[in-house]
Structure 1
Amino acid sequence: MGKIYTLAEVLTHNSPKDCWLIINGKVFDVTKFLEDHPGGEEVLLASIGKDASVDFEDIGHSTTARAMMDEYCVGEIDVATIPKRVKYTPPKQPHYSQDKTAEFIIRLLQFLVPLAILGLAVAVRFCTKSS
């Protein structure tokens, strides 16, 4: 087992000339790999001082890439120093009781408007026959 680093120690290595990151509980010094990284150095620099495990796994690195990691591994992270992610729970809110008046008015208009149009059409028809 290699050296155990705290998150605070990893965070001190946060520049292109001294770049460390965390992947799957291990600490990597990727400073010498920045220029050779196929995805560009920006990808690694964006992961400085954080747990980049999800980003690393999402990309789908090859077996060769995973084997290369060993030469950059400098130790492991003390997981007790990494803040726990808290799942967001929305605050409790009172049940929304919609005002049924608006719904009633819409239904009433859906009935009355066609009826009014029909009545108007009939009235126009009779008025034009009478003249």
Structure 2
Amino acid sequence: MPTLTKLYTMEEASEHNTAEDCWVVIDGKVYDVSSYLDEHPGGDDVLIRATGKDATDEFEDAGHSKDAREQMEQFCIGELDVAPPPIPELEIVSKKKDLPQKVLNFTKQYWFVPVAVVGISVVLGILFQRKK
């Protein structure tokens, strides 16, 4: 029967960032190194600084031996969940349906504009007729 692998997000792994509770992520795997901090040859601060991010580059740059790589497997608690977050579904709204309502709202709000144009036209028409 295959062993089920627990998946963790980077956010979950980064919450474990103290000397009492320290997780690191290396090569897509999550390691709980809390019990190893005092034994780590580079010091506990190196491991604590590696939390909250993918520490693969730092691990590789340190030049760890084959024995160190084998030893770290005992601290593996799962894998990093690299699936992208779900994209929220967008609601599609037709602008054509909203247009009559927008025009109605516009005319209610600015009713005085057409009334003023008609009023000015009537006054100018009367004045023009009197001058003839």
Q: What TM-score does the superposition give when structure 2 sets the normalisation length?
A: 0.59
CA contact (8 A) 1:7 1:81 kept: no
CA distance in structure 2 between the aligned counterparts of 1:27 and 1:81, rounded to whole angstroms: 18
Correspondent of 1:61 among 61, 64, 86: 64
Identity %: 50
- 1:7 matched to 2:2? The reply is no
Query: In 2, Cα distance between the equivalents of 1:8 and 1:55?
Result: 19
Query: Which runs of 5 or more residues in structure 1 are unaligned?
Result: 83-131
Q: In terms of mean alpha carbon deviation, does 5-14 or 63-72 score higher? A: 5-14
Q: Normalising by structure 1, report the TM-score.
A: 0.59
- Alignment equivalent of 1:33, drawn from 24, 30, 36: 36
Would you identify which runs of 4 or more consecutive aligned residues in structure 1 move more than 2 Å?
none
Give secondary structure in 2 for the equivalent of 1:76.
Answer: strand
Shift of 1:7: 1.3
2:76 matches 1:73: yes
RMSD of aligned C-alpha atoms? Answer: 1.5
Rate the CA distance shift 1:7–1:18 in 2: closer, same or farther, 3 A.
Answer: same
Once the two structures are superposed, the pairs formed by residues 1-131 of structure 1 within 5 Å of their partners are 1-80=4-83
**1:64-117 superposed Cα distances (whole Å, 9 cap, x missing partner):** 0000011100000012369xxxxxxxxxxxxxxxxxxxxxxxxxxxxxxxxxxx
Aligned length: 82
CA distance in 1 between counterparts of 2:84 and 2:54 reads: 12
